[in-house]
Structure 1
Amino acid sequence: MSRLTTLLQRHYDAGLLTIALLGLGIGTVLYFTSGAGPADLAWTWGTAPVLAGLLWQIVRSLQRGDVGLDIVAALSMSAALAFGEPLAGNVVALMYSGGQLLETFAAGRARQEMTALLGRVAHSAMRYTDSTLEEVPIADIMPGDRLLIRHGEVLPVDGHVAGSKAELDMSALTGESIPVQLAPGAEALSGSTLMGAPFDLLVSRPAAESTYAGIVRLVEAAQDSKAPMTRLADRYAIWFLVLTVAMAGAAWGLTMDPLRALAVLVVATPCPLILAVPVAIISGMSRTARIGVLVKHGGMLEALAKVETAVLDKTGTLTGGHPEVTDIRTIAGVTADQVLRTAASLDQASSHVVAAALVQAASAAGLRLATPGDVVETAGEGLIGQVDSRPTLVGGHGFVTDQLTQGSFADLATGLPIDAMTVAVAVDGRPYGLIVLQDRVRADAGQSLAALRAAGVNRIVLASGDRGDIAEAIGVELGVDAAFGDLRPEDKLALLHREALPEGLVMMVGDGVNDAPALAAADVGVAMGARGAAASSEAAGVVLLVDALAPLAKAITIARRTRRIALESVIVGLGLSFAAMIAAAFGYLPPVQGALLQEVIDVIVILNALRALR
């Protein structure tokens, strides 16, 4: 529901509540001053508009195939007017419209953390053009453009910090209120707010593909979703409707007193099953968004509450996903800075994560990069091009070696760490150097896995496309239950099927394109970081907006608590309603008092459902 729709709905509900309240007040005054006749007219006037609006809603719902307990509310108001009990009908109208207004308000309150994201989208930016600045729409911004970000502005697109450092408030993305200092060359994400001095941003993605645009799309989809528990409530509503009508009919038939039937109807209007579940689910989704975990729809929040097994990819999940240069080995007569500068210059033309790591390392070292020319990239293997007018190759060991005209990297490759990755650099067809990178295990990985177990995850499995010995070594270090390496995308799918449980669900956590099939196939797919591969974020049902694993355990805890609160509200609310219906059928609860009691129950369950926000 959009903000405008929510606002209009709130005004509509407030209008009906005002009419019902005026009818009740005026009727009460007339009862004591002019008698029952004028009072009955006022109470009828206070009931009729609410009943008419409710009937229109019921017709629209039936056209969509939805049958709910709003029908009971319509029956009770209609029966009250037909049986000469307009005061009972007015009380039902007052409490029904008040309940609708409270539900709308509660849902709006629960959506605040999610909806706040939607109001931060930038519409224009200052772009450098021919040494001048011009304000352009964000739709015109393309990769490679240079933007000026001013103090207090929201970054409109993703890019890299150029020139000076940048101090950014990333709380809209991560929930962390402490500003972050980014060095030159570091990635800066759209949706962040500049807290410090102005800086230049080198654009890496169009606005439509930016981190923040993706988050906004996910939020909009999440707000329009409907949870399985809510759909289940709709199905239960049919049976409750049948039970209510049957009890009312039996009370009337056995006692020949229509007021017994009316009392049963009003005491069942409306049902906590309809009110409590949506409010609780939306509250839980809002709460997870506040800690940097975006749950795409209510059904995924319910599934998250049932997770017992977690399958985690290694790179970008348990490791940082950002390789760091740890060593540079060179041939005689060549310095480490020369090798790094050459590789980074050519890698400016690539979006690969390793290429980005080399460019950032060169920027941090203060190296002035050359403009590459005639670049041809072989995806996932390497690049060929010109740097300083010299033929240059940068890429994997095998890719570069196959194209050497003389020499080899054998001497440079001896004694490498077991978990190291290497980038070979060749110039003029001969070896030039070898850059060693390592993707280190996250400092908080062990603590995050312990938190997952504390949240109720009983089994943790490491799944990696890296060599088996590397996966097993990291698995032993982190204490996982099992570790598997050399896995292709189809192997990860097979692993998920093997880990499936008769009870409890399996969660897959990953961040790469190769993880997308497994994320889509898992009971719960979790994409690491909104800046991860677009395919993985689209396939996953949960997206971690912060590049860390720790919030996931908190989200599972929130999901379990939300589901428990929703069930508590339903069970308690239905139990109280059913008890009141029995009392009404036996004549212990007159229509007016029954209506008041039922609406008190509804208010209680809504307020209880809002506990999921805390």
Structure 2
Amino acid sequence: MPLKPPRAWLDAALLGITLLALAGGGLARWLGLAETARLAWNASALLLAAWLAAESAARLWRRQVGVDLIALLAIVGAVSLGQALVAAVIALMLAGGRALERYTERRAERELRRLIDRAPRFAWCYRGGLLEQVAVERVRPGDRLLVRTGDVLPVDGEVIDAMALLDEAALTGEPLPVNRGAGDAVRSGGVNAGPPFDLRATATAAQSTYAGIVKLAEAARQSRAPSARLADRYALALIPLTLAVAGVAWLLSGDPLRVLAVLVVATPCPLILAVPVAIVGGISRCARRGILVKDGATLEALARVQQLFLDKTGTLTAGRIGVRTVESAGTYAPAQLLHLAGSLAQASPHPVAQAIAQAARERAPLEPPQAVRESAGAGLCGTVAGREVWLGEHGYVAAAVPAEPWSGAMLRRMNHELLDGSFVAVDGAMAGAVLFDDRLRQESPGALRRLRQAGIRRIVMLTGDRAEAAQLVGVAAGVDEVRAGLTPAAKLAAIAEGRRQGVTMMIGDGINDAPALAAADVGVALGARGASASSEAAGVVLLVDRLDRVAEALCIARRARRIAVQGVLAGMGLSLLAMLWAAAGLLPALAGAVLQEAIDVAVIANALRVLGGRAPPALGGAVIDRLREEHAALAPVLQQVRRAAERVASDPPAQARSELDALLRGLERQLVPHEQADEAQLYPQLARRLHGEDPLAAMSHTHREIFRLIHLLQRMVADLAGGVTVASLEEIQRTLLRLDTVLGLHFAQEEELYHSLDDR
């Protein structure tokens, strides 16, 4: 029966006993009580030897050899030959190394308590015409249940009411709530994001989807083989080498003290100390960057990762709905349209409506809506500032206002770009649409590039979302392969397949990711927003909501492992030289112990280099906020460029000329001064924080292209004084399209750069 790992308090107790025994024995020796000193030193050494013997026997039973075997032989040999002080010193070094290593592993075997705690304990069940709260274990197929707003669905079932609005992001990764009609099957673990509805149970709690996810996560964690300790892997070479040198010393001299001296200088304190010190140092550096690495074995495995699997929603993307753009049919300006839609949307608890209201509220105070009527899951209408406003799905709004070709074109665009949107009608006419999506994280592309630079050779996105949306995100982020529409079990199978090809890392944040996080060699959870299930299943938790910290963790882990290996090899090399001297009779056991301590100090000093290293460059928070505010202020100008690029050739000539003049004024007064200030003031400041001789050369080139296109546009518009022609407008449109493309790319690059330098 394999022994279980000792508790942290036991290692701390052994360290305390050996330290007190060594100090107490030294004091007794100084007072002339030589026998008392010998007894104290021998007692502490034999106590630790007894524990090592039990552990070594358990390891040998499992056909494993540990680094502690040489230390055990050295302690027993020292005690047998009357070298009590030598034995006590070895015991202290060994106990210190074990306590240090165990400190890094205290949280290694946590159960998935938070995942289990999230599971519903009770359900509201109709019994005899009355509503009764019952334990979820008592729910049986066929029972009629009430699911209140905000409740987690307790069991799998069928919707009885006409409509249910469910947030299934934790199960499928789909960021938007989904509508389920009467008779539709729903799964436990989803959250009711709409009004209360009735549910007919089709399975017991133990047979439902959520319980299956918990079982998968627990089974995956138990089946994952623990990584061998780095020190133990080197011990496989050190142990036979030590025994061979000791055997040669015995054959040549027949002196047991020479054998003891060989064992003493071979005592693997460089292995016992260098590795845990470097690993703890790596864990400490990660913690300073908001990265919680739960144990040393995880950091070692992280340093050897070759393949990366990651979720989409909440991992590559922000995991929440955000307004992407406001499109106007022409009557109202986008800002005015957003203000009307947001004012009405604040009356609805629907997540999409709340996202629209929040986006509008960030620009201006909202109006109080009146006479609001809502169709659950479809849309709402009401009066805002004296105007009748409709907001919702196209079918809902189109049923209230006459159809227009504009809305059909917008639907096609939304389909092509895989966008969701809410249409807006004002005073009986289709006025525009608010488009939204789950945006790609600003740091995602850069984070994946850094991971590749750090040695990741394959990146695969695993998601339960639909294939079209997943492919779009995958292309934008730069992954190698996209696997969409996956269940938790399918993600688990993909991880198992990957592990056969190399060391794997899985990054996720949802409940459906917990089994895959537990099964991967290294699971990384984005836990900043309280993703408790994935945090408990993972070995690494990001306490800040930034994907680029994974690349930092990987670099820190590889540096820590590299320094640990350097210390081990240097320590083993020095120990080998000392062993040869001891075998030749030139190094007594006590002198060997002192020399071994000197080697230990050097190895520890080298291992502490892990705590150093330059932190990623950062800008002050005020600078970052100012830059973002400037970009936000320029958003209307960019929208003007986009609108002109889309319509200038089809607008009436007089209207086109007027809009172009207004656009040029905005470019000259706002955009050009901003870019000139960036080039003259900001970029030199940024260049000092980045690597390379001229790290911002490409972005400076983009500035020059923007200035060139604006200058070209000015000349083209000036030529319109001689008369507006279709050909001239088409030429201007081509220039505007180039300018729109360059501006969009340039602003995206700058925002990604600013985000990477924001260390808050």
**TM-score under structure 2 normalisation?**
0.50
The one-letter amino acid of 1:258's match is P
Quickly say closer, same or farther: Cα 1:508–1:470, change in 2 above 3 A: same
User: Hey, what does 1:280 align to over in structure 2?
Assistant: 278
In the superposition, relative to structure 1, how do residues 299 and 313 fare at CA in structure 2: closer, same or farther (>3 Å)?
same
The answer to whether the 8 Å contact 2:18/2:91 transfers is no
Q: Cα distance 1:340–1:515, how it changes in 2: closer, same or farther (>3 A)?
A: farther
**Structure 1 stretches lacking a partner, 5+ long:** 31-37, 115-142, 145-221
Paired residues for 1:403-422 under 5 Å: 412=407, 414-415=409-410, 416-417=413-414, 418-422=417-421
Are 1:438 and 2:433 counterparts?
A: no
Structure 2 distance, partners of 1:468, 1:107, is 44
Equivalent-residue separation in structure 2 for 1:407 and 1:55 (angstroms):
88
C-alpha separation between the residues in 2 aligned to 1:457 and 1:490?
Answer: 24
CA distance in structure 2 between the aligned counterparts of 1:510 and 1:372, rounded to whole angstroms = 43
Which of 598, 607, 610 lines up with 1:609 in the alignment? Answer: 607
Residue 449 in structure 1 maps to residue 448 in structure 2: yes
Q: Which amino acid aligns with 1:293?
A: I
2:88 is matched by which residue type in structure 1? Answer: A
For 2:22 and 2:527, the matched residues in 1 are separated by 45
Match of 1:595 in 2: 593
Give per-residue Cα distances to partners, 1:561-605, cap 9 Å, x unaligned. Answer: 112122222223233323333332332222221222223223333
Asked whether 1:94 is paired with 2:92, we answer no
Matches within 5 A, 1:5-404: 11-23=16-28, 25-26=30-31, 41=35, 43-58=37-52, 61=55, 72-73=70-71, 75-83=73-81, 86=82, 88-94=83-89, 96-97=91-92, 100-101=95-96, 104=99, 228-230=227-229, 233-234=231-232, 237=235, 244=242, 248=246, 251-252=249-250, 255-325=253-323, 326-327=325-326, 337=339, 339-347=341-349, 354=352, 357-358=355-356, 360-361=358-359, 364=362, 365-367=364-366, 382=377
Change in 2 beyond 3 A, CA 1:457/1:586: same
The amino acid that maps onto 1:454 is Q
SS for the counterpart of 2:306 is strand
Give, in whole Å, the separation in 1 of the partners of 2:68 and 2:466: 60
Distance 1:370 1:472, change over 3 A: same
| Structure 2 residue 545 is the aligned partner of structure 1 residue 547 | yes
Quick one: which amino acid aligns to residue 85 of structure 2?
A: N
Counterpart residue type for residue 58 of structure 1: L
Q: Secondary structure at the match of 1:530?
A: coil
Name the CA distance, whole Å, in 2 between partners of 1:408 and 1:518. 47
Q: 1:363 to 1:24 in 2, by over 3 A?
A: farther
The structure that is helix-richer by fraction is: 2
Q: Is the 8 A contact 2:12 2:99 kept in 1?
A: no
Distance 1:372 1:247 in 2: 92
Q: Post-superposition shift, 1:536?
A: 3.8
| Residue-by-residue CA offset, 1:464-492 (whole Å, 9 max, x unaligned) | 666766655655555x2646475444797
| CA spacing shift, 1:465–1:18, aligned 2, 3 Å | same
- Which AA in structure 1 matches 2:583? A
Identity %: 40
Secondary structure of 1:310's partner?
A: strand
- TM-score norm. by structure 1 comes to 0.60
The residue identity in structure 1 corresponding to 2:84 is: G
The separation in 2 between residues aligned to 1:70 and 1:310, in whole angstroms, is 34
Counterpart amino acid of residue 345 in structure 1: A
Counterpart CA distance in 2 for 1:600 and 1:395 is: 74
Amino acid at match of 2:342: L
Q: Is the 8 A contact 2:462 2:486 kept in 1?
A: no
CA distance in 2, matches of 1:107, 1:59: 18
Distance in 2 (alpha carbons) for counterparts of 1:522 and 1:68: 25
SS in 2 for 1:228: coil
Question: Does structure 1 conserve the Cα–Cα contact (< 8 Å) formed by 2:86 and 2:589?
Answer: no
User: How many corresponding residue pairs?
Assistant: 474
Whether contact under 8 Å (2:78, 2:84) holds in the other structure is yes
SS at 1:294 equivalent = strand
Deviations 1:419-448 (A, max 9, x none): 53224799xxx9999542134444444433
Q: Secondary structure at the match of 1:436?
A: strand
| Structure 2 residue 563 is matched with structure 1 residue 558 | no
Q: Which moved more, 1:515-524 or 1:277-286?
A: 515-524
1:500-579 matched pairs, under 5 angstroms: 500=498, 504-516=502-514, 518-531=516-529, 533-579=531-577
Contact kept, 8 Å, 2:282 with 2:611, in 1: the verdict is yes
CA contact (8 A) 1:23 1:44 kept: no
Distance 2:593 2:299 in 1: 34
User: Which amino acid counterpart does residue 436 of structure 1 have in structure 2?
Assistant: L
Equivalent position of 1:192 in the other structure: none
Amino acid paired to 1:447: G
1:493–1:265 CA distance, 2 compared to 1 (3 A):
same
3-state SS, counterpart of residue 347 of structure 2:
helix
Distance 1:106 1:606 in 2: 14
Q: Is contact 1:420-1:438 (8 Å) kept?
A: yes
In structure 2, how many angstroms separate the alpha carbons of the residues matched to 1:63 and 1:495?
A: 36
**Is the 2:307–2:503 contact (alpha carbons within 8 Å) kept by the matching residues of 1?**
yes
CA spacing shift, 1:324–1:281, aligned 2, 3 Å: same
CA displacement at 1:559 relative to structure 2: 1.2
Q: Is the 8 A contact 1:507 1:525 kept in 2?
A: yes
CA distance 1:306–1:58, change in 2 (3 Å): closer
SS at match of 1:422: strand
Asked whether the equivalents of residues 511 and 529 of structure 1 are also in contact (C-alpha less than 8 Å), the reply is yes
For structure 2, the residue ranges without an aligned partner over 5 or more in a row are: 1-5, 109-148, 151-220, 384-388, 613-760
Give the alignment's Cα RMSD to 1 decimal: 5.3
Name the structure 1 match of 2:185.
none
Distance 1:372 1:523, change over 3 A: farther
Partner SS for 1:345 = coil
Correspondences of 1:471-482 after superposition (within 5 Å):
480=478, 482=480
> In the TM superposition, what is the alpha-carbon distance from 1:558 to its structure 2 partner?
0.9
Q: Which has the higher contact order (CA 8 A, sep 6+)?
A: 1
Distance 2:397 2:463 in 1: 26
Q: CA deviation at 1:557?
A: 0.9
Residues 452 and 269 (structure 1), Cα distance of their counterparts in 2 relative to 1, 3 Å cut: closer
